Structure 1
C-alpha cells in the first residue's frame, strides 16, 4: 500500500499529535540511537523493542500511531521520514538502528539492512549464534537508500532491522527470548563503544 503522506510536514496538516500519534524519546540523546519510526499500532511491538534495546545505555525514539482503523495511513516510508525531533537526535548519533515490522505472522525471522555492512554482518553472526533466523533482505527491505532514516546519522550509514510479526510477538511475550534478543544486539553495539 503506498504512503498517504509524503513526509512528516504533510502528515502534520491532517493528523493531530496526542490524538492520532505520539512522539516519544529517551530523556537524552546519545551516540547510539535506536528508533522505531513506525511504532505504536502502525507496526506493533516495534516501539517496545526499540526501548528494550536502548535500555538505560542508549538513546531511543518512537513515532507511535494511536488512531484506530486508519492507523496504517501514518506510515511514512523510511527515506521520506523526516520528523524534526528525530532529525535532531540523528545529528549526534554515530550508530543508528531502526526497528521495523514485517507482516508475516507465522514464521519467526528477521532481515538486516542498512548501509553499515560491518555492523550488519556482526549482528547477523551474533543473532544466528543466539538461535534467531536471519534471512537475506528482500529488495524493498534493504535500507540502502542514503536518505533512509537509519543512514542519516553522523556516519551516513546505519542498520535497519525488519522483524516478522511472529518474532515481535514472541519477543514481547517471552521474557527469555527478549533477554536473548536484546542481549545479542547490545553486546554487538557495545563492542563499538
Structure 2
C-alpha cells in the first residue's frame, strides 16, 4: 500500500481526529505492548484482535480509521509510523507485538519482526492450535525502525493476518460485523496468549 502522507503531522493536517480517525491506548503491567497501527477501516479486524490479545494485562494501542470509505488514505508505513502516543507507548514497552492485515485468501498468519526466538515459538504454538503460519515475502518487519522493533529490547513480532483469515474471525468485516466474533477468533486469541504470558 502506497502512503498518501509521509508523516503523522501531514495526515493530521488533512484529517480531523475524532471524525476521520481515533487513537486509543492504555498501559498494562506486563511490559508487553500490543499495537494495531492500521486499525478500524484501514486494515479491518486488526484493532479487534489487538484489543482482545492485550486484554487488561498488556499495554494496548490502536490507530483507527473511522471514515465511511477511503480509510486506506490513513495508512502510515510501520517504518515511518510517528504518531506521538504510539512512540511514547513503544518506548515504555519491553517488547512489542504489532497486528496488521494483508491480502491473501488462504487463512495464514505471517510472522515478522526481529524477535527470532519468539517468532519460532509463536509458529509452533499457532500450528498446534491449527493455524497456518509463514514468513511474508514483502512484509517481514526486519527494519529496526519498524514499530514492532521499537521497544526497549529492540526486537518484536509483527503479525500479518491475511484477508481470508480475518474474514473467518467475524460475521463480516464491516464496522457492524466486527462487533461480533466467531469461535475461531477466540481460538486465535487463546493461542496467542499462551506465548504472551511469558517474559521477553
The TM-score, its normalising length taken from structure 1, stands at: 0.93
Q: Take 2:38 and 2:24, find their aligned partners in 1: how far apart are those partners? A: 12
When the two chains are superposed, the root-mean-square deviation of aligned CA atoms in Å is 1.4
Residue in structure 2 matched with residue 188 of structure 1 by the alignment: 195
Matched, 1:66 2:73: no
Give the Cα separation in 2 of the matches to 1:48 and 1:69: 19
| Equivalent residue, structure 2, for 1:110 | 109
2:95–2:149 contact (8 Å) kept in structure 1:
no
Structure 2 CA distance for aligned equivalents of residues 71 and 172 of structure 1: 19
Residues 95, 154 of structure 2: 8 Å contact kept: no
Partner-residue secondary structure (3-state), 2:79: coil
Q: After TM superposition, give the deviation of residue 141 of structure 1 in Å.
A: 0.7
Match of 1:171 among 155, 169, 182: 169
SS of the equivalent of 1:147 reads coil
Which residues of structure 2 form unaligned runs of 5+? Answer: 172-180
Whether the aligned pair in 1 keeps the contact of 2:53 and 2:189 (CA below 8 Å) is yes
Q: How does 1:51-62 map to 2 (within 5 A)?
A: 51-62=51-62
CA–CA distance in structure 1, aligned partners of residues 194 and 2 of structure 2: 36
Poorly superposed stretches of 4+, deviation over 2 Å: 171-176
Structure 1 CA distance for aligned equivalents of residues 7 and 157 of structure 2 = 21
Choose the corresponding residue for 1:147, options 134, 145, 148.
145
CA–CA separation in structure 2 for the residues paired with 1:47 and 1:179: 15
Aligned to 1:16: 16
* Matched length: 190
Q: Which ranges in structure 1 are unaligned for 5 or more consecutive residues?
A: none
TM norm structure 2: 0.90
Partners of 2:22 and 2:198 lie apart in 1 by: 32
Choose from 159, 162, 165 the match for 2:160: 162
Output the CA distance in 2 between the equivalents of 1:69 and 1:52: 25
Residue 121 of structure 2 corresponds to: 122
The CA distance in 1 between the partners of 2:123 and 2:167, in whole Å, is 20
Measure how far apart 1:159 and its partner are. 0.4
Tell me the CA shift for residue 29 of structure 1: 4.3
Q: Establish whether residue 132 from structure 1 lines up as the match of residue 131 from structure 2.
A: yes
